[in-house]
Amino acid sequence: MAYEINGETYEADEEGYITDIGSWSEGLAGLIAEDEKIEMTDEHWEVVNFLREYYDEYQIAPAVRVLTKAVGKKFGKEKGNNKYLYSLFPYGPAKQACKIAGLPKPTGCI
């Protein structure tokens, strides 16, 4: 599949993960989120930006525990858990948030 913004096409795999990480932009993230039926709030953007920063340094999305800890630090302890992340990204923070952040899908027994 592919996404289109202003006549520009962005290639994605069968599940909607963009194939060229470098082509990501906030506009594209918004479009992917729309596709996923997610309305992006500040909290959503914080998670997406954290994923991108982590990926920049470690070449992989953060483990769920790393993410929940970071979210807890930012938004308060009561939000630093998996359930809160699922309320933001119902199909799972690891997979759905990665898709919006333009990162490859985490694979394995997860």
Q: Which stretch binds another protein (CB under 8 A): 2-10, 28-36, 38-46, 78-86?
A: 78-86
What lies within 8 Å, CB to CB, of 96 at 6+ separation is 36, 38, 89, 90
Is residue 78 a contact point for another protein (CB under 8 A)? no
Compute the distance between CA of residue 50 and CA of residue 29 in angstroms, rounded to an integer: 14
Among 14, 39, 56, 78, binds another protein (CB under 8 A): 14
Q: Identify whether 98 is a catalytic site residue.
A: no
Is residue 23 a contact point for another protein (CB under 8 A)? no
Nearer to another protein among residue 30 and residue 106 (C-beta): 106
Please give the full DSSP string across 47-91, using - where no structure is assigned. HHHHHHHHHHHHSSPPPHHHHHHHHHHHH-GGG-SHHHHHHHSTT
Catalytic residues: 109
**Which residues contribute to the site for another protein (CB under 8 A)?**
14-15, 57-60, 62-66, 69, 82-83, 86, 92, 94-95, 104, 106-110
